[in-house]
Every structure is written in C-alpha cells, then in structure tokens.
Amino acid sequence: MKTLEQELAQRRAAHLYRERLVLDSPQGTEVRVGEESLLSFCSNDYLGLANHPEVVAALRAGAERYGVGAGASHLVSGHSRAHHALEEELADFVGAERALLFSTGYMANLGVVSALTGRHDVIFEDRANHASLIDAARLTRAKVNRYPHADAERLAEMLARNQRPGLITTDAVFSMDGDMAPLADLFRLASRHGARLLADDAHGFGVLGKNGRGSFEHLEIPLAPPAILMATLGKALGVFGAFVAGEAALIETLIQRARTYIYTTALPPAVAEATRASLRIVRAEGWRREHLRALVAKFRAGAQHLGFVLADSATPIQPLILGDAKKALDTSRRLRELGILIPAIRPPTVPEGSARLRITFSAAHTATQVDRLLEALAAVVSG
C-alpha cells in the first residue's frame, strides 16, 4: 500500500498536483497574488458583482442587524427574516411557486437527489455531470444509468426500458465545456415517462435568458413539474450559497427529507441580505448580460482568427483544450509571466487527454482586456 507521501509524489510526476492561489485582493478582473498584479480570466463572477459596493454595503448592514452567524439550522432557530425574504424573491424571479436555500450547490444537489430517490429507484445522469450530481447518485445507492453526453435519443431508449419512474439529472450549462444540455428534449422525456428532471443551472443562472433567469428562460421552458431547478448564488450573483426552486410540494418535501438542509447551520443572514442586493442589480441592469455576450463574441472571433479551435459554447465559459496536462500547466505558467491568470484544468476534473485552459469572462472585463488576452494567447499558444 502506497504512503500518502508516495501518492502525492506520483501526482506531481504526472503533472496533476493541485496548488492553491492566495489572493490579496477582492475578486475582480484584476487581482493580486503576493507581489503580482494579474488580469484574471478564471473567475465565475460572471456579472462582476462579487465586490459591487451595493452588495458589500448590504452585507455590512445585514451583519449589523443580524450578526455574523445564523446560530442554528433553518429548522431550529436559524431561519431569519432575511432568509425568508430571499427565498420569496428568488422564487418570484425564476417563476416558481417556492424556493429553498442551501449552503452550497453541492449540498443542494445531494439534498434533492437523496430526498427523492433511494436504493430501489433509478437515476439517469449525463456522463459529463458535475461531481455533486455524480456523488449524489452514488450516495442514494439507487441504480444509476449514465447516458452519453447531451444524448437525448440514448436517454429516451433507456427510459423506455425502465419499469419505474426515474430521476434525470443534468448540468444545464456544463462547467468545463460551457455547452448546454438539451433541456427541452429532457423536459419532454421526463414528462412522457413520469420522471423528474433536476437541472443544475449554476453557470446559467443570472447569465442566460432575457432577464437573467437562466437556462430555462433562455430555452423558453416553463419552470414547472417535472422540472426542478438548482442554481448557485456564488457565481453570477457574486455572493455565496444555492437554492432549489419548484412547486410547493417539492419544497416542503425537501424541508422534511433533505438531510443536507436539515442537519446544517443556515447561511449567515447577512449573506442573504447581500444576495438580495445582488438580485436587485441582476433585475435592473440588463446591460451586464449584454456586455458579457459582446465580450464572448469578441473573444471567439479573435480566437478563431488566430486559428484556435474552441468548444461549441456561447456562454462565458470558453475552454481552450490543449490535451496534455503538462502542456496545459506550461501554457498557464507562461501566461502568468505575461500577467494573465488562467489556471490549468487537468484530470480528474476533465477526462484524460482533455487538459485545458478554462477561460471565463465577466461583465467587469473591458474590450481592451480581451484584446490583451488574445495577444498573450497568440504569443504563448502559437509561439
């Protein structure tokens, strides 16, 4: 049996060792790491709200009113007026009967899947699903059928052979490739076969759709049974936490049965107040989404002009797949020498042979900064 030290050394030798950056600045398009000032293209702060003065002020005011901790779980004494108001505002925003707050998206997915399925049920999951959905299925001990990525036809065949209603789980926007699930097809299949559809819209919520309501709005799909929406609050909204939205009976079921909701301390109420401020900005400032789309289009046009092959993504996630883990690491290091921060993404986060630079954009970026990124990529990747 290998020692922990031997396993770590093996990871280093395979160029798969992970290291943390220590930031000395708030999230933003420009960050400080020690003495370095870097132009960042790796954050999920898609709308540039993580350091917005109104959001910061709301957090401060929330702490002054409610303190800095919830003190207990939602079902004991930790559910504050701030939490309740945020849930109502999120439900109204996405067009659902009710919404329920969770501490993280990971815990939300584990909570929903474990509350709705057990060892005698069947889960159908996209092979490219986020780790939280994969782990959720494992923990239930249900039978798991994995269908090829975004392949609704193959899923239809699996559902036709299934004797019991199942649960379909999928990312709405896939976090490493930036492509979208065929949600309309999945919704129809779930309806036809009496299944439920859980869509993790962590990377679509706030970004996609005319009003920023996410992938369901973008694809003009009603947020109604059999659909269940999970979305996070730490990406486009720039704060922290997650929520699940759906019909009232679903939310009541989760309150009664979702262990990751019942047995954990509630989010600090001040965080809920900050999120409410962020949601108000998302509602009022559609220019952020328009500017973000323009930046993505500018980058894609420039990258294609330089001869780069990009994934089929119209979202702020624009992966540049380099294949080899060492090549991805070396490219990331050379970009950092030019003042550009884009860490390498390597297995097991992505499949073997698909190590990449996961380039992401924010509404806080400028067109000039995108030009600087393209110039750096041209010098490093093509050089």
Rounded Cα gap, residues 156 and 178, in angstroms: 24
pLDDT of residue 383: 60
- Identify the CATH number of the domain defined by range 13-42+286-381: 3.90.1150.10
Active-site entry in 74, 83, 193, 203:
203
Per-residue pLDDT at 309:
83
Catalytic residue among 40, 43, 114, 175: 175
User: Measured in whole angstroms, how far is the alpha carbon of residue 174 from the centre of its chain?
Assistant: 8
pLDDT in tens, the chain (383 residues): 789 999 999 999 999 999 999 999 999 999 999 999 999 999 999 999 999 999 999 999 999 999 999 999 999 999 999 999 999 999 999 999 999 999 999 999 999 999 999 989 999 999 999 999 999 999 998 999 999 999 999 999 999 998 788 999 999 999 999 999 999 999 999 999 999 999 999 999 999 999 999 999 999 999 999 999 999 999 999 999 999 999 999 999 999 999 999 999 999 999 999 999 999 999 999 999 999 999 999 999 999 999 998 888 999 999 999 999 999 999 999 999 999 999 999 999 999 999 999 999 999 999 999 999 999 999 998 66
Q: What φ, ψ does residue 13 adopt, rounded to 5°?
A: -65, -30
**Residues 6 or more apart in contact with residue 264 via CB below 8 angstroms:** 73, 103, 107
**Is 203 assigned a catalytic role?**
yes
Give dist(CA 307, CA 290) in Å, integer.
26
Within 13 Å and on the Cβ side, how many CA atoms surround 164?
13
- The domain spans of the chain are 13-42+286-381, 53-284
C-alpha 1/C-alpha 3 separation (Å) is 7
pLDDT of residue 2: 87
CATH for 53-284 is: 3.40.640.10
- The one catalytic residue in 235, 278, 291, 362 is 235
